[in-house]
Amino acid sequence: MSVTTEKELADAVNRNEDTIVIEGDLAKKTIRIKATGTVAWAVAIGSICIVFYGVIATVGTGGVATPVAGFAAVAGSGGALSVLGAAATSAAISMAVSVRSLSVLKKLRGNYKIVSESDNKVTLKRS
C-alpha cells in the first residue's frame, strides 16, 4: 500500500498492512521517528502524549478546552521537538490524532522495519 499523508500512514499501520510504501516528505519524517533511540523516544513520546491529550480534550469539548489544549501543546512539545525535530514531531502527533490513539506510534516503531529507502520513498515491512 502506498501512502503520502500522516492519516493514510496511521490507517495502514492500524490495519496491520504487511508492506507500506511511504512517499514524499512523510518518508523523511518516518525515518526520523523510526531511527530515534529507545531513551530519546521515551522523552519524545512523553511530550507527544501531553499534546495528544490536549488536542483530544479540545475535540471532545467542542472547543471549550482550546485555551488549556493550546497551553499543553506549547508546554508539552519541547521534549519531542528536541528529539525528533519539528517536522517529525508534527507528523507523529498528526498520526496519533487522526486515529485517536497513541498506540499507532508504538506499532509503527515496534512492528515495522525499514526495508528500503531513497530520497523520497521508504518501504516498511511488518515484522
Can you give 71-89 as a three-state secondary structure string?
HHHHHHCHHHHHHHCHHHH
Q: Are 55 and 63 in contact (CB under 8 A)?
A: no
Q: How high is the pLDDT of residue 64?
A: 47
Mean pLDDT across 49-53: 82
The rounded mean pLDDT for the chain is 84
What are the tens digits of pLDDT across the range 66-124? 444 444 454 455 556 667 888 888 899 889 989 999 999 999 999 999 999 998 999 99
Q: How high is the pLDDT of residue 48?
A: 86
Residue 66 φ then ψ, to 5°: -55, -45
Mean pLDDT across 53-57: 76
Pairing of strands 112-117, 121-126: antiparallel
Q: How high is the pLDDT of residue 60?
A: 56
